[in-house]
Structure 1
Amino acid sequence: MSTTAESGTAGAATTQARMSRREVLQALSGLMLGIFVSILAATVVSNALPVIIADLNGSQSIYTWVVTAELLAMTASVPLWGKLADLVSQKLLVQLSLALFVAGSLLAGFSQDTGTLIVARVIQGLGAGGLTALVQIVMAAMIPPRELGRYAGVFGAVFAVATVAGPLIGGVIVDTSWLGWRWCFFMGAPFALVAIVLLQKTLKLTQVRRGGVHIDWLGALLITAGVSTLLIWVTLAGNEFDWASGTTALMVGGAVVLLALAVLVESRSPEPVIPLDIFRNRTVTLTTLASALVGIAMFGGTVFLSQYFQISLGYSPTEAGLLSLPMIAGLLVSSTVAGALITKTGTWKRFLVAGGVLMTVGFGLLATIDAQTSIWVLGAYMVVLGVGVGLLMQNLVLAAQNDVPARELGSATSVLSFFRSLGGTVGVSVLGAVLASRVAGDLSVLGGGAAEGGTTVPDVSSLPPEIAGLVQDAYGNATAELFLIATPLAALALLVVLFIKEKPLKTTSGAERLAEEQAQLPLAH
């Protein structure tokens, strides 16, 4: 009886899974708006953060924490969202992610201190974690790998518009006295609510549910606790306590024990949150490692660019948003063109290799900047970096999704997203600590108000000219050092990519493949 029902479900999925281009675009509209909101929230804050932190009397470590808190929550929750996708309606989960995002945005907008702001960013991060995992899982279920490149232009356009619009809108908001920085958070809520309604109307995904699936809550708890402990240590070490200290030993030791227990629990669970046997697949292992390295280099290297534009070069938040356009333009063009060519030719590895080369070169060039660097030179360097990142990020996911059984699509996608976010969180935390330490060291010899620039994000316009120049140089040199650290990480990502074996792209969607796999299960017995 159950076998018949299962076969019927599989057949239904097979007949309904293949969607027309128009149906796919309609279904993607709500998903893309959700991604737009998520990216907008992250980028709208980037140019406003110096103003927000100064207004709330926060320090450089708080500046890093406001970014890290969202990344940490997103990272820790991605595997759980991926597993929930096996149990609950994926449409419902995406809508829940957006609802969490709205709640976090409103709380952030009403924050009166940095503590509340960080909590709000955690809630936003939980919502972003759901969107990060689920949007790619849903896309893989609807669209065959060979056709995914065709829609990369849509995704790339949404990503680019949100990334460009965010800093510009954030800059305008903080530069407009009658609005204030709180609207940087409030403005995302209406978009998220519209996305929820749009998803309800347009996303009609046929799902083939797997019987007997459950969540390994103990494994999820251990993974979250272990990763969080490690990342909190990375963020606080060097500021709140020494890198070599008893606190470090306690936190690192605790994280190692928690993660070791997580591995033990996951290895014995019939439905682990992160299936360990998925790493037996060479493509998944290599793309996961490359994604982590890209995350470290990309997030860690670029999140402080806005601070560099405003403090080191003296531009306003709005101008800082405009200065990010070259990198976004490079990303948009490269991801769109590469996606179209991949769909046309069916080959993809050359784009990963080219992306690794250009990302490494881009970081190497940006490692030469200082407080006197021309904006035209900066723009050229950022174009190189943007093109490299555009060729790498989505195509790593495509390579992994193409090489796993349909039943592991959710796991493979969420694992890649998890490690990319983990890399980004580590990158922001470690490089943020490096920047704070370098700035503090450069300014410590000055004493007085300038020395405070090492611990408190300074308002350069309020400093005496001679002190302002020293602060600008300190931030310029420290930012260049971050890119110098990111360069070998990007080179290592390139090395990993070289070992990925290119395989032909499949021409059936994830839903169709899953139906076929399940239809064959009774024959196996």
Structure 2
Amino acid sequence: MATPAPTTGVPEDEPGRGGKHAASAHSSAPAMTRRQIMEALSGLLLGMFVAILSSTIVSAALPKIINDLGGGQSAYTWVVTASLLTMTASTPLWGKLADLTSKKLLVQLSLVIFVLASAGAGLAQSSGMLIGFRAIQGLGMGGLTALAQIILAAMIAPRERGRYNGLLGAVFAVATVGGPLLGGVITDAEALGWRWCFYVAVPFAVVALIVLQKTLHLPVVKRAGVKIDWLGALVFTASVSVLLIWVSLAGKNYDWLSVQTYVMVPAALVLGLLFVLVESRAKEPIVPLRLFRNRTITLASLASLFVGVAMFGATVFLIQYFQLARGKSPTVSGLMTIPMIGGLFLSSTVSGWIITRTGRWKSWLSAGGVLLTAGLGLLGTMAYDTPYWRVAVFMALLGLGIGMMMQNLVLCTQNQVDMRDLGTASSVVAFFRSLGGAIGVSALGAILAERITHYTREGFAELGRQPQQGSGGTSGIPDLSKLPGPVRGVIESAYGDGIADIYLYATPLALVGLLLVLFIKEVPLKTRSAMEDDPTKPSMVEAEYGSPGGWPDASAGPAEQPNRETSRLDVGQATEAPADATSQLATVGAAPNGAGPNGATPREAPSWAPLPDAAGAPAAQKAQTARAEQSPAATAVSAAAASIDPSAGTGLHGTVRDPGGAALDHATVTLISLDGRQLGRCLAHADGSYVLDAPGPGSYVLIAAADGHQPQASTAAVGDGYVHHDILLTGSSGIVGTVLGAVDAKPVAEAMVVVTDIRGEVLATKKTGEDGEFGFSDLVAGTYTFAVNAPGYRPHARPIEIGEHGTTQLEVALQPGARVSGTIRGGADQHPLPDARVTLIDAAGNVTATATTDEDGCYAFTDLAAGQYSVIASGYPPVASALTVQGHGVDGYDVELSHPEE
């Protein structure tokens, strides 16, 4: 097995490094320790805390903010929808950028955008200005949402990711609980006011930026020629914006069936189809359509869409319920949402830890869908005067469901994609969740405005008076403290019933999400992180070269490759030789024999070089064939690998050894391109050293083989100069043997022989021939379990140790399986008894076997070990007798049954 290919990753705070420095660093990225992970996550979690706090701190104050700025229910909805819309559109862009550049820089940038927008929102003088700054806030929130999951996935194996997802859930819960409480206190404090809800996050953000700079260090990539899909993002934003504007205004500014509807709905659909067309042709689409060939990604994305509708749409209006339906202050209303946040905190943390232990996540997703649906349905039954303890239970169920689904939908998706798609796939799920939230908040907000208007009119009709301006409905957010008692009762009842209605509307959507989750196939979580699996994939590597031909085209193949082992290291500018390589190499090839790479004695032409034919013209195909068929003398490598001058060319050098450290001379080492073309071949020297030339910087496949050893293939990244790449070949061992009968020593034909590893995985099976012989080859040295089973014989198993070389001889003696048979008789005439129950018990009192007699009263037990047994027959009063079984067993052991009176 070859040592891991040289990693070219560099720390993010040293972006200038790469090239030869990067190429010289071998071995893949080791697993990070828990302390390193926690240090790296500290700044990220603090940044997430600041963003969530800045968002939730406003929720408790939002009714008062909209009232002070003169907005109505529509403005209330759009303050939330604007940030969700821009977050949705930007999340895939952040994910794509994370695959192309520094994740730390992106996290810091998104945090700065979020906090500056928050400060701007604090200066807002109108609801329109507030909505604009909230839209900018959504850009930063999209980055933090996407990058948190991407960075977590880059550092931590999927199997271990559950516990850290639990930490994210805990931070989310604390900030979500603390936000409304802090916002309520600030809003209720006369010395501060609601504007400080936006300013308070600034100092926390400064600390988060400093901590991120000091603690977060990840490899990054820079790939030449990559384009961001700005057109796709623009078309998507336009499509969703038209749809949301229509939803929010229909029923108020114009009828649902009107000219505006006939224009805006088709326009949104056309823009949506245009978005799909743009994405299908974009070089780097924000939503790669090929990902949806993967069933898990498709179902998880659709489930996230419906979960987002239910989750955002339901939780956004809880604060309105407590303040406008129950008349509570901002501080108290924040306290009253704690059951939901507590449920979210509990379920996300506990499910994360248990998923880490078991590797199983499907049951948690399914249970989360059930609880989410039940919580929404039950909240749909409440009114303004429903006892709080009932509302608290309903909210707790809702929180439990959200906590189980939100992070785990991303987790199951990350477990199904290659490292190159990790950022994009994670963002796709978050994209659909945010899209569902934007649609849900806007649509449910429009429904809420219509229901409040309806219930307000009904309430005032019962009072015999007309609705007042500012007393509810679409005209504005009411200030309950300024309303007369009867009017206040109507408004509270209208908001209580209206908000309950939108939960009923959201319930079927949550149910659809649950049904989609049930169809997701569970794949056990991987136990290696992205950096361990492939530390040099484009999303994890920075090098000063471009991509060798780039990654495969989006349409090149299916996205579902969860267990792919082969990795690629994209470092070089191209995998082909330069256009003028022929003339250059002709000169090099004319150098005297014995040439070396240090310039003192020119070297022979590189192994990949096209050589001139007899007429002097280049003939690439002849050169490749001739190079591959050169004699060992011509291709054997000099042991002077230490004299290689990195500036004299590009290639690989190293040694080929066995697990004991011994050099494998005359091992064949072959260099091929990623598309399967042979570029060079050589034989290792007596000390195991080899040197192979490469046509230029890039990623290659190195194949090594030697007699008596398992061949190995590995990827290798070549930069400027020669990269050191050692190869380890394990021995090829085998097992041969014979299966005999222990009594007669005769060969046992057709015996099944099975070899398993120490984990119980079956490695090989074979049946013995007529002579009882069997054989297995190409086994790696190690400990195995050897098992044999044959009809009429007792199964046999034993551990075996296979050495590095040679064949292990085995002779297996199978003990015959003893047999006990007979007839059960009963009655005065001792006739055979059918369907009598016969039980065989060993000397220790354990039931060895049971049988039921046939129509002739016969029974039989086979494959028994020698020893003392008891036979118990029932049907008549039980009769017990003792017998001794030896050799081939006992035949004709009859048992008579009778009743005492016979």
TM-score interval, normalised by the smaller of the two chains: over 0.9
CA contact (8 A) 2:6 2:28 kept: no
Provide the C-alpha distance between the structure 2 equivalents of 1:232 and 1:159, rounded to a whole number of angstroms.
30
Deviation at residue 13 of structure 1 after TM alignment:
9.1
- Say which is worse superposed, 279-288 or 485-494, in terms of deviation: 485-494
Match of 1:115 among 102, 105, 128: 128
SS in 1 for 2:383: coil
The residue aligned with 1:406 is: 419
Match of 2:473 among 454, 465, 468: 454
- Say which is worse superposed, 234-243 or 34-43, in terms of deviation: 234-243
Q: Structure 2 unaligned runs (5+)?
A: 10-18, 461-465, 537-565, 576-672, 677-902
Determine whether 1:422 maps to 2:448.
no
CA contact (8 A) 1:133 1:414 kept: yes
The residue aligned with 1:490 is: 510
- Say which is worse superposed, 456-465 or 217-226, in terms of deviation: 217-226
Determine whether 1:257 maps to 2:270.
yes
SS in 1 for 2:523: coil
The residue aligned with 1:203 is: 216
Provide the C-alpha distance between the structure 1 equivalents of 2:291 and 2:269, rounded to a whole number of angstroms.
22
Determine whether 1:174 maps to 2:187.
yes
| CA distance 1:14–1:182, shift in 2 (3 Å) | farther
The residue aligned with 2:742 is: none
CA contact (8 A) 2:370 2:401 kept: yes
Provide the C-alpha distance between the structure 1 equivalents of 2:34 and 2:511, rounded to a whole number of angstroms.
38
Determine whether 1:374 maps to 2:387.
yes
For residues 348-371 of structure 1, give each alpha carbon's deviation from its aligned partner in whole angstroms, at most 9, with x where no partner exists.
101011111111111111111001
Match of 1:474 among 472, 494, 506: 494
| CA distance 1:147–1:209, shift in 2 (3 Å) | farther
- Say which is worse superposed, 80-89 or 175-184, in terms of deviation: 80-89
Number of residues paired by the alignment?
523
Provide the C-alpha distance between the structure 1 equivalents of 2:469 and 2:24, rounded to a whole number of angstroms.
70
Provide the C-alpha distance between the structure 2 equivalents of 1:228 and 1:332, rounded to a whole number of angstroms.
33
| CA distance 1:13–1:424, shift in 2 (3 Å) | farther
Deviation at residue 216 of structure 1 after TM alignment:
2.5
SS in 1 for 2:58: helix
Provide the C-alpha distance between the structure 2 equivalents of 1:376 and 1:302, rounded to a whole number of angstroms.
18
The residue aligned with 2:567 is: 517
Provide the C-alpha distance between the structure 2 equivalents of 1:13 and 1:408, rounded to a whole number of angstroms.
24
CA contact (8 A) 1:106 1:186 kept: yes
SS in 2 for 1:449: coil
For residues 123-181 of structure 1, give each alpha carbon's deviation from its aligned partner in whole angstroms, at most 9, with x where no partner exists.
11111011111111111111110110121232122111100000000100111111000
Deviation at residue 80 of structure 1 after TM alignment:
1.2
The residue aligned with 1:434 is: 447
Deviation at residue 315 of structure 1 after TM alignment:
1.0
- Say which is worse superposed, 64-73 or 210-219, in terms of deviation: 210-219
- Say which is worse superposed, 61-70 or 10-19, in terms of deviation: 10-19
Deviation at residue 411 of structure 1 after TM alignment:
1.1
The residue aligned with 1:60 is: 73
Determine whether 1:82 maps to 2:95.
yes
Provide the C-alpha distance between the structure 1 equivalents of 2:36 and 2:675, rounded to a whole number of angstroms.
35
Alignment of 1:95-244 (within 5 A): 95-210=108-223, 212-244=225-257
Amino acid in structure 2 at the alignment position of 1:82: G
CA contact (8 A) 1:76 1:227 kept: no
Deviation at residue 422 of structure 1 after TM alignment:
0.4
Match of 1:389 among 381, 394, 402: 402
For residues 243-290 of structure 1, give each alpha carbon's deviation from its aligned partner in whole angstroms, at most 9, with x where no partner exists.
222222222222222222221122122321210010000000000011
CA contact (8 A) 2:99 2:221 kept: no
For residues 13-47 of structure 1, give each alpha carbon's deviation from its aligned partner in whole angstroms, at most 9, with x where no partner exists.
96336211111111111111111111112211111
| CA distance 1:11–1:425, shift in 2 (3 Å) | farther
Amino acid in structure 1 at the alignment position of 2:303: A
For residues 463-513 of structure 1, give each alpha carbon's deviation from its aligned partner in whole angstroms, at most 9, with x where no partner exists.
111111111111000011011111111111111111000001111112333
Determine whether 1:508 maps to 2:533.
no
Provide the C-alpha distance between the structure 1 equivalents of 2:438 and 2:508, rounded to a whole number of angstroms.
18
CA contact (8 A) 1:367 1:483 kept: yes
Provide the C-alpha distance between the structure 2 equivalents of 1:477 and 1:261, rounded to a whole number of angstroms.
40
For residues 227-249 of structure 1, give each alpha carbon's deviation from its aligned partner in whole angstroms, at most 9, with x where no partner exists.
22222222222233322222222
SS in 2 for 1:454: coil
The residue aligned with 2:45 is: 32
Provide the C-alpha distance between the structure 2 equivalents of 1:377 and 1:13, rounded to a whole number of angstroms.
61
TM-score when normalising by structure 2: 0.56
Deviation at residue 6 of structure 1 after TM alignment:
6.7
CA contact (8 A) 2:7 2:28 kept: no
The residue aligned with 2:378 is: 365
Determine whether 1:51 maps to 2:71.
no
- Say which is worse superposed, 438-447 or 20-29, in terms of deviation: 438-447
| CA distance 1:442–1:209, shift in 2 (3 Å) | same
SS in 1 for 2:468: helix
- Say which is worse superposed, 232-241 or 138-147, in terms of deviation: 232-241
The residue aligned with 1:465 is: 485
Provide the C-alpha distance between the structure 1 equivalents of 2:482 and 2:470, rounded to a whole number of angstroms.
14
CA contact (8 A) 1:450 1:467 kept: no
CA contact (8 A) 1:83 1:273 kept: yes
TM-score when normalising by structure 1: 0.95
Deviation at residue 212 of structure 1 after TM alignment:
4.1
Amino acid in structure 2 at the alignment position of 1:465: G
CA contact (8 A) 1:443 1:451 kept: no
Match of 1:275 among 288, 298, 304: 288
| CA distance 1:366–1:12, shift in 2 (3 Å) | farther
Provide the C-alpha distance between the structure 2 equivalents of 1:123 and 1:207, rounded to a whole number of angstroms.
26
CA contact (8 A) 1:32 1:155 kept: yes
Deviation at residue 401 of structure 1 after TM alignment:
0.3
Determine whether 1:300 maps to 2:350.
no
| CA distance 1:459–1:281, shift in 2 (3 Å) | same
Give aligned-pair identity as a percent.
58
CA contact (8 A) 2:345 2:403 kept: yes
SS in 1 for 2:29: helix
Amino acid in structure 1 at the alignment position of 2:408: N
- Say which is worse superposed, 211-220 or 22-31, in terms of deviation: 211-220
Deviation at residue 62 of structure 1 after TM alignment:
0.6
Provide the C-alpha distance between the structure 2 equivalents of 1:411 and 1:10, rounded to a whole number of angstroms.
27
Provide the C-alpha distance between the structure 1 equivalents of 2:453 and 2:25, rounded to a whole number of angstroms.
63
Provide the C-alpha distance between the structure 2 equivalents of 1:142 and 1:366, rounded to a whole number of angstroms.
39
Provide the C-alpha distance between the structure 2 equivalents of 1:333 and 1:427, rounded to a whole number of angstroms.
25
SS in 2 for 1:16: coil
CA contact (8 A) 1:101 1:192 kept: no
For residues 293-350 of structure 1, give each alpha carbon's deviation from its aligned partner in whole angstroms, at most 9, with x where no partner exists.
1100011112111111011111111110110110111111111111101111111101
Deviation at residue 12 of structure 1 after TM alignment:
5.6
Provide the C-alpha distance between the structure 2 equivalents of 1:505 and 1:350, rounded to a whole number of angstroms.
14
Provide the C-alpha distance between the structure 2 equivalents of 1:13 and 1:159, rounded to a whole number of angstroms.
39
Give the number of the structure with larger relative contact order, counting CA–CA contacts within 8 Å between residues 6 or more apart.
Answer: 1
Amino acid in structure 1 at the alignment position of 2:500: A
| CA distance 1:360–1:479, shift in 2 (3 Å) | same
Deviation at residue 219 of structure 1 after TM alignment:
2.2
Amino acid in structure 1 at the alignment position of 2:488: A
Judging by fraction of residues, say which structure has more strand: 2
Amino acid in structure 1 at the alignment position of 2:494: A
For residues 60-80 of structure 1, give each alpha carbon's deviation from its aligned partner in whole angstroms, at most 9, with x where no partner exists.
111111111111111111111
SS in 2 for 1:453: coil
The residue aligned with 2:337 is: 324
